Amino acid sequence: MGEVRIGVYICHCGTNIAGVVDVEEVRKYVEGLPGVVLAKTYPYMCSDPGQNLIKEDIEKGLIDRVVVAACSPRLHEPTFRRVLREAGLNPYLLEMANIREQCSWVHMREPKKATEKAKDIIRMTVAKARLLSPLQPVEVPARQEVLVIGGGIAGITAALDLANAGFRVYLVERAPSIGGHMAQLDKTFPTMDCSQCILTPRMVDVARHPNVQLFTNSEVVGVEGFAGNFKVKVLKKPYYVDLDKCTGCGLCVDFCPIEVPSEFDVGMAPRKAIYIPFPQAIPHVAVIDPEHCLYFMKKKCMVCEEVCQELAAGAIDFSQQPEEVELDVGTIIVATGYDLYDPTQDEEYGYGRYEDVITALQMERLLSASGPTRGEIVRPSDKEKPKKVAYIQCVGSRSLRPGHASYCSRVCCMYAIKQALQLKEKYPDIDVCIFYIDLRTFGRGYEEFYWRAQEHGVRFIRGKVAEIWRSRNGRLVVRAEDTLTGRVLEEEFDMVVLSAGLRPSKGTEELAALLKIPLGPDGFFLEAHPKLRPVDTVVDGIFVCGTATGPKDIVDTVAQAKAAASSAMALLSRGKIVIEPFVAAVDEDRCRGCGRCEEVCEFGAVAVEEKDGRLVAHVNEALCKGCGACSVRCPTGAIKVRNFRPEQIRAMVSSVAG
Amino acid sequence: MSSLILDMREADPKFKYRVKAIPGAEKLTVCFQCGACTPDCPVAKRVDIFRPRRIVRLALFGFKKRLFSDNLLWLCLGCFGCTEMCPQGVKPTELIEALREIGAEEGILPPSIKDMMKALLSTGRIHRITKARERTRTKMGLPALEEPNMEELEIVFASSGLAELVSGKEEK
């Protein structure tokens, strides 16, 4: 190896680094390190003039390796790689020395020691950089199909954008119909659009789109592969109804003798054991719930089959079996939404004990024009019109009590205000009172919406409700402190609505395990970067959007869904995917085919194969994550991760400890 | 200045750190004043100025004079209802105990508590055991009370500084 010529570029990052680390002292020190031919500092290395500094030195032929001492490589490594490429140098002859996140920020009170540590970090990086080799990025072909998991507004939006761009989309929904929670809502804040009116056309569009294939009543049960080439297993659960024959006439439903609480109406109305999920359901077909159907429980009844055979399409099929389908896709979009917090555990609110204490989603079904009461608000206990309704905010949210969530669920302030306004519009005499801790109306037009509710006379009481009980006259008594006057109040209401928070949807953990993507401490899917990569995950080719990454309203959900669709397009549109070359590589002369690398590889990326009459390890570069487990295990040093070779790590260690 | 206006010159912004340093009171500064502690407080129902929420607020601002006047801190019954309800884990019951400790260190103790402490110092008990009480015990088949071991108690008194608390700063 000829003598390398390393240029070190030390960034001030304004005062982020230079306010703590003495960059000039570091520069002088670095100049004397072996291999370093020049060292420069600049206020913002990532700025245009900063980048040009590097570019010019490369173009003049002064340097052939670059070390940038600045922020985390997660932030600007791609920026500086581009600089190298533009200057005609192999972009992998770059190393980043993180003297910001790992030095100046964490040692801001110890500038002397921080300066010494910055020297150490750069010395190590230079030691590694001396042994860098030029690499070529790996390219693999990318399939042009996309899997979207979840058929709510997020999944529907992402699927439509992708389908319109010409990609084939498989939309998988666990429930028998697409639509998600938005289909259950009556109106949406702050515009008061009818939820169904703006959702239903999108549902129809996605179902009829020639590029979209729906998998309803289906779940993803297996995922293998990598960006551009995922293999997905989808389990189609039986409807026990032939989807091609069923016309959705509903005759079977009329005759079915079994009634259970409706999931769609959140228990505010019953449904039958054979049912059409809701009037706008897609597909608009009947589905049998085998957990309650008499045929599946006791092998009798079958009246639905009889009426369908004689009077309708003959679509009932008790013999249907679950079916597994394999799909090949290039990218995956996770849009699995949320579940509403179940407030039963909060004994003090009496949910589940008092009929007239309901959740806001149940109120939404009462408010809905197509709901079980046709939009009439009635007390569940006696079907009377309520004169006074209380809302209790932050139920299960913003609390460290066991079973509660520490985060703010973001939508409850607005939906409570929206429902309060709707109640006032329907019944001008009604008294609506919202008990809150803080009101958060941060979106465009949201504060004005809150203003409207105040103008309509909705009462806002700042105090967390401590207890609800039923008085002798059957009304509910709410006790809270009005913290603004410091008085404890007890007031009777006809109904109490709990503004329950949002939780990760059931099955989130299992899906995260299948996709090998992490969850945050709140249990929602974790994005790769909250600001810069909000719909990416740490796994290339898997994107996530909507409430799957945490509570958000429809406005933000749709924006994210469109972002996820466009990110998926950006990845697939070139027809091939570029993979970082930091993967394991085998020196076939040294390899003796013992297979230990294959044993330790978690990703199934290494396999021992026969080649020219002997066994050698082979790396699937698209599967390899560059973790280095094989390299550690290899007895002959034949398998190494590119540019993370043992000799480089040794050089780094001995430069600080040697 | 009107009593309706908070005189911030009376506030000691560093006071909260002194309180937070006492075990049990660490979460003082995360209180968001939701008031969940107050509606079920048995004392708040009877005493107008006693609100767990208000005590937390006064401690947070460092209004020591208000905190340590009117025997406010000594009204708490220690039922832990507020601690159970608090969504932020502030533990007002333990916070109030911490504030009592600070008050005691500064010699601010209500006479009734001082009397109890004096009784403890001289007899080893906070209440006098009457003959009637002893007879009741016998009737209920309970064993007679042992006499307090003053020798051992003296060691506890000395190491806890109880005697100084009662006598030393009495007239502060």
Superfamily of domain B8-105: Alpha-helical ferredoxin (1.10.1060.10)
Chain A contact for B39 (CB, 8 A cutoff): yes
Residue that finishes a domain, picked among A572, A604, A626: A572
Judged by DSSP in three states, A482 sits in: strand
* CA-based nearest distance A504→chain B, Å: 20
| Whether B35 and A483 lie within 8 Å, measured CB to CB | yes
| pLDDT on residue A2 | 64
Chain A contact for B42 (CB, 8 A cutoff): no
- For residue B171, pLDDT over 50 is answered with no
Q: Which among B32, B39, B54 has the least Cβ separation from residue A466?
A: B39
| Strand positions, DSSP E, A341-387 | 357-359
State whether A85 and A209 are in the same domain.
no
Would A657 be classed as within a structural domain?
Answer: no
What's the ipTM?
0.80
* CA-based nearest distance A470→chain B, Å: 16
- pLDDT tier for residue B172 given thresholds of 50, 70 and 90: very low
> What's the token pair of residue A293?
């159907």
- For residue A246, pLDDT over 70 is answered with yes
Nearest CA in chain B to A461: B34
Would A244 be classed as within a structural domain?
Answer: no
Would A551 be classed as within a structural domain?
Answer: yes
pLDDT digits (tens, 9 = 90+) for B82-134: 999 999 999 999 999 999 999 988 888 888 888 888 899 989 998 888 889 88
State whether A497 and A517 are in the same domain.
no
Task: Give the total number of structural domains in chain A.
Answer: 5
pLDDT digits (tens, 9 = 90+) for A251-294: 999 999 999 999 999 999 999 999 999 999 999 999 999 999 99
* CA-based nearest distance A467→chain B, Å: 8
Residue that finishes a domain, picked among A503, A532, A561: A503
- For residue A431, pLDDT over 80 is answered with yes
Segments making up each domain of chain B, as ranges: 8-105, 111-167
Contact residues on chain B for A486, CB-CB shorter than 8 A: 51, 54
| pLDDT on residue A575 | 93
State whether A149 and A106 are in the same domain.
no
* CA-based nearest distance A181→chain B, Å: 28
Better-predicted residue by pLDDT, A404 or B163? A404
Would A242 be classed as within a structural domain?
Answer: no
DSSP string, A270-311: EEESEE-SSTT-SS---EE-TTT-HHHHHS---HHHHHHHHH
Chain A contact for B44 (CB, 8 A cutoff): yes
pLDDT digits (tens, 9 = 90+) for A23-65: 999 999 999 999 999 999 999 999 999 999 999 999 999 999 9
Chain A contact for B49 (CB, 8 A cutoff): no
State whether A220 and A331 are in the same domain.
yes
Would A658 be classed as within a structural domain?
Answer: no
Contact residues on chain B for A479, CB-CB shorter than 8 A: 39-40
Which CA distances in Å does A265 have to A43, A257, A351, A377?
60, 19, 17, 14
Contact residues on chain A for B32, CB-CB shorter than 8 A: 398, 437-438
Would A316 be classed as within a structural domain?
Answer: no
- For residue A491, pLDDT over 50 is answered with yes
Q: Find, among A78, A125, A79, the residue nearest to A98 by Cα.
A: A125
Contact residues on chain B for A483, CB-CB shorter than 8 A: 33-35, 38, 53
Cα–Cα distance for residue pair A60/A65, rounded to 1 Å: 13
Residues of chain A whose C-beta is under 8 A from some C-beta in B?
Answer: 348, 394, 398-401, 404, 437-438, 462-467, 479-483, 486, 488
Contact residues on chain B for A480, CB-CB shorter than 8 A: 35, 39
Better-predicted residue by pLDDT, B66 or A178? A178
Would A391 be classed as within a structural domain?
Answer: yes
Residue that finishes a domain, picked among A521, A545, A572: A572
- For residue B1, pLDDT over 70 is answered with no
- For residue B170, pLDDT over 50 is answered with no
Residues of chain A with pLDDT > 90, as a percent, come to 94
Which CA distances in Å does A271 have to A262, A277, A287, A515, B63?
5, 9, 11, 35, 60
Instruction: Show the domain range for A391.
Output: 339-503
| pLDDT on residue B3 | 63
DSSP string, A137-150: -EEEE--SEEEEE-
| pLDDT on residue B126 | 87
pLDDT digits (tens, 9 = 90+) for A138-182: 888 999 999 999 999 999 999 999 999 999 999 999 999 999 999
| pLDDT on residue B146 | 86
